[in-house]
Homo-oligomer: A and B are copies of this chain.
């Protein structure tokens, strides 16, 4: 890419970053709260429409609320036997999340396209840029809900019935956002248009720091799942109940936390207890119930299952599986091609789930690019990417477009 291209990528990145910077930002923590089908989410979607419109792209919403911006007629390309290349990611966040997880992939896709156009090198074939709904699952509990509903991996009835902490269902939240939840379900028309999907994402670990590389390519997404532990106890007065008379579920919570860490260490996985509900959660009331969620992932699914079993045994309570995603090997020829194209970029596995993994599991050739994160921290306001690395990511995406489209 010429210098002028890098300058344009930088300008486009800065302009989009400024436009998005305040949406759903918590002034105190500096983190973001951008949850599916909220007013913040609507603002982000409006930005997407405006950005695509400014590039003359037409935006369609699929049956599940995912947005697709197109440079031309994807159906004509499908009819001609060559389904388009699609880039993109998501705009929602975890509670108190960082600015980059999701938006970097969307912003970089628009910037890469703009950069190629300015250089007179934009492909004539249609290019798509996707914005997936509810990737983080922060509000309704299922990550990658938009792509899972799109592919049918998440049953439409189950998806519509999911509720948030206030009891609002996905169906009601989508209806309030102006969508028709009756349409939710596997969307053949939208899927047919995706020839190849490439998602750029900020790295959520430290591998690219260790490799001294700005951009890497994903190899696979670890198998991962979420389990719920219902720990029952007996409500009692914290001041008057003798220690041997207590059935205090907090002690089992402590055991779940320490066992998860020890078992993960032993079996070469990660495992985390990060969400807890205590009932009634009063200072002087021994809880009648504690509910804890276990997140466990690793390269080997059997090792992950062993960790869950050991935690379950330690607390003496069945672990209810809320979700399980098997290992997703991303398309091997595609990833090798991109790694070579990008000058032997490092190829890394990841413990995070992504829409690219959901599409890949549904048989769509999919790849991911990672942009270096100098803190290695993710799902946090401390998540970061240097502007120069973001520009390198945009340039990499531009090369991917030229190569694949």
Chain A interfacial positions (CB closer than 8 Å to B) = 29, 31, 94-97, 137-138, 141, 143, 204-206, 222, 224, 226, 234-243, 245, 248, 250-251, 253-255, 257-258, 261, 264-265, 270, 272-276, 278-288, 293, 295, 297, 350-353, 376-382
Given A241-B205, A280-B96, A377-B236: A286 in contact with B274 (beta carbons within 8 A)? yes
Q: Is the beta-carbon distance between B280 and A284 smaller than 8 angstroms?
A: no
Interface pair A237/B378, CB less than 8 Å apart: yes
Cβ contacts under 8 Å, A138 to chain B: 282
From known contacts A205-B242, A245-B206, A250-B257, infer whether A274 and B279 are also in contact, taking CB-CB under 8 Å: no
| Contact across chains for B251 and A377 when beta carbons are under 8 A apart | no
Instruction: Tell me whether B274 and A278 are in contact (CB under 8 A).
Output: yes
Tell me the bound Cα distance from A240 to B238 in angstroms.
38
Give the residue of B240, B270, B283, B297 whose beta carbon is less than 8 angstroms from that of A275.
B283
Evaluate contact between B274 and A250: CB separation under 8 angstroms: yes
Please give 20 more A-B residue pairs, beta carbons under 8 A apart, in addition to A241-B378, A243-B261, A250-B257: A29-B288, A204-B239, A206-B242, A222-B239, A235-B380, A236-B380, A237-B351, A237-B379, A239-B353, A240-B350, A240-B378, A241-B377, A250-B273, A250-B276, A251-B258, A253-B257, A258-B258, A274-B286, A275-B283, A276-B276
Known pairs A253-B254, A276-B276, A278-B274; A285 contacts B241 (CB<8 A): no
Q: Which residues of chain B have C-beta atoms less than 8 A from A31's C-beta?
A: 235, 280
29 residue pairs from A and B, CB less than 8 Å apart: A94-B284, A95-B282, A95-B285, A96-B235, A96-B280, A96-B285, A204-B241, A205-B242, A234-B380, A234-B382, A235-B379, A235-B382, A236-B377, A236-B379, A239-B295, A239-B352, A240-B352, A243-B264, A248-B272, A248-B274, A250-B257, A250-B272, A251-B261, A253-B254, A254-B258, A275-B281, A282-B379, A283-B293, A284-B295
> Which residues from B are CB-within-8-Å of A245?
206, 376
Q: Is the interface of A mostly helix, strand, loop or mixed?
A: loop
Q: Which residues of B sit under 8 angstroms from A288, Cβ to Cβ?
A: 29, 96, 380
**Which 7 A-B pairs rank lowest in CB-CB distance, beginning with the nearest?**
A235-B380, A95-B280, A204-B240, A239-B351, A237-B378, A238-B272, A254-B254
Bound complex: CA of A258 vs CA of B283, how far in Å?
A: 16
Do the beta carbons of B95 and A377 come within 8 Å of each other? no
A279 vs B143: C-alpha distance when bound (angstroms): 19
Contact B280 A94 (CB under 8 A): yes
The chain B residue sitting closest to A97, CB to CB, is B285
In the complex, A286→B351 CA distance in Å? 14
CB A5 to nearest CB in B, in angstroms, measures 31
Q: Whole-angstrom distance from the CB of A358 to the nearest CB of chain B? A: 15
Of B226, B240, B270, B280, the contact of A283 (CB 8 Å cutoff): B226
Chain B residues contacting A205 (CB-CB under 8 Å) are: 237, 240-242
Tell me the complex Cα distance, A29–B280, Å.
Answer: 11
Asked whether A257 and B251 contact (CB < 8 A) given A204-B239, A206-B245, A245-B206, the answer is yes
Q: Across the interface, do A378 and B254 meet the contact criterion of CB distance under 8 Å?
A: no
Are A274 and B270 interface neighbours, CB within 8 A? no
Nearest to A257 among chain B residues (CB) is B254
A239–B285 CB distance below 8 A? no
